[in-house]
């Protein structure tokens, strides 16, 4: 009677198979290093040098950072743009994320057409930001824009505005457009959070007499903290990196009168020139601004995540 002999693979082949797995992330790491890490390190190094056009000059240490904060008009423009980014974040957290949470909860109740509503809310996200910007620029046009025409048709002519030409309404208009654009993503994140809540907990709470706002406060919201944290961090990062939509709707000068200026748009003008009379670049100052913005986002995000994790553990 013949016996089947199993030949064990050699240790060398096992070792090679084990190390082959570690080769797969290399292309992604190379791309990440080329397009993320290298620009960050390059901007950091550029910020310590004097620049004459595109030519690097002498090492000046922290002089570009000092100039950015203390020399006019850079200092006032920086804080003006920073204030707009803060408003960008606050409005998006209240309007976009608040509305997304509400709509996600309604869809979670298994209403008719839930799948249609999910697709409808997410549909704007499939469009390019530049396309969205030009589309809404046409809608908000004071002469032939759809919004002003609708206001006229329903007898609300007093509310008609040059929405993007008025410093009091331009920034809010852009932020609300961004809320419309990002609403669907928030709905999907919050809906996934609601669907991850165990049904047994909800049933037990209802048996104990919890309903309505009490059920939302004691069961839903505490268990939605991870989803709210994710959306809060993403909204914060997106708000302080706001560029494409502002650029598409108002250009690189943050018109009118810098009322829609953001830190990213301000960086673009410094690093790549602007439509001013001189049209000069300030690569050193732009790199200093990019470094400050990167460190600010990194520190605030880290602190927020640690605080949120502690609260989550306590719950």
Virtual torsion, Cα 294, 297, 298, 301, nearest 10 deg: -170
pLDDT at 252: 85
pLDDT at 11: 57
Determine the Cα angle at 194 with ends 190 and 200, to 5°.
Answer: 170
Residue with tokens 């993503």: 185
Question: 159: how many CB neighbours lie within 10 A of its CB?
Answer: 11
Q: How far apart are CA 214 and CA 192, in angstroms?
A: 21
Distance between terminal CA atoms of the chain? Answer: 67
Taking Cα atoms as reference points, which of 297, 305, 298 lies closest to residue 263?
297
Lookup: tokens for 171 = 């920034």
pLDDT at 277: 39
pLDDT at 315: 47
Instruction: Please say whether the beta carbons of 234 and 188 come within 8 A.
Output: no
The model carries a pTM of 0.84
Virtual torsion, Cα 94, 100, 104, 106, nearest 10 deg: 70
- Within the chain, which residues score under 70 in pLDDT? 1-17, 274-281, 310-315
- Tell the burial category of 50 from Cβ atoms under 10 Å away from its Cβ (0-12, 13-18, 19+): middle
pLDDT at 84: 95
Q: 162 in helix, strand or coil? A: coil
Residue with tokens 């059920």: 215
pLDDT at 300: 92
pLDDT at 96: 95
């Amino acid at each position: 009677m013949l016996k089947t002999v199993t030949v064990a693979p050699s240790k060398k082949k096992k070792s090679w198979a084990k190390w082959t797995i570690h080769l797969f992330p290399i292309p992604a790491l190379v791309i990440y290093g080329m397009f993320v890490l290298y620009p960050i390190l390059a901007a950091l190094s550029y910020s310590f040098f004097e620049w004459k056009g595109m030519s690097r000059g002498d090492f000046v240490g922290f002089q570009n950072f000092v100039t950015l904060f203390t020399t006019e008009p850079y200092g006032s423009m920086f804080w003006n743009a920073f204030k707009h980014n803060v408003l960008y974040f606050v409005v998006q957290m209240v309007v976009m994320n608040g509305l997304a949470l509400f709509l996600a909860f309604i869809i979670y109740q298994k209403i008719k057409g839930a799948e249609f509503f999910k697709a409808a809310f997410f549909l704007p996200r499939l469009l390019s930001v530049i396309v969205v910007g030009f589309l809404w620029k046409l809608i908000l046009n004071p002469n032939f824009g759809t919004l002003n025409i609708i206001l006229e048709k329903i007898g609300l002519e007093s509310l008609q505005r040059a929405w993007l030409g008025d410093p009091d309404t331009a920034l809010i208009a852009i932020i609300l457009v961004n809320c419309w654009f990002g609403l669907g993503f928030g709905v999907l994140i919050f809906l996934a959070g609601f669907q991850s809540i165990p049904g047994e907990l909800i049933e037990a709470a209802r048996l104990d007499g919890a309903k309505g706002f009490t059920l939302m406060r004691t069961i839903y919201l505490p268990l939605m903290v991870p989803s709210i944290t994710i959306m809060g961090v993403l909204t914060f990062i997106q708000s302080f990196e706001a560029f494409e939509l502002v650029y598409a709707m108002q250009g690189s000068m943050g018109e009118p009168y810098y009322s829609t200026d953001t830190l990213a748009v301000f960086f673009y003008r410094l690093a790549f020139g602007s439509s001013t009379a001189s049209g000069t670049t300030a690569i050193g100052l732009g790199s200093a601004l990019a470094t400050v913005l990167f460190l600010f986002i990194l520190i605030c995000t880290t602190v927020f995540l640690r605080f949120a994790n502690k609260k989550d553990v306590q719950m």
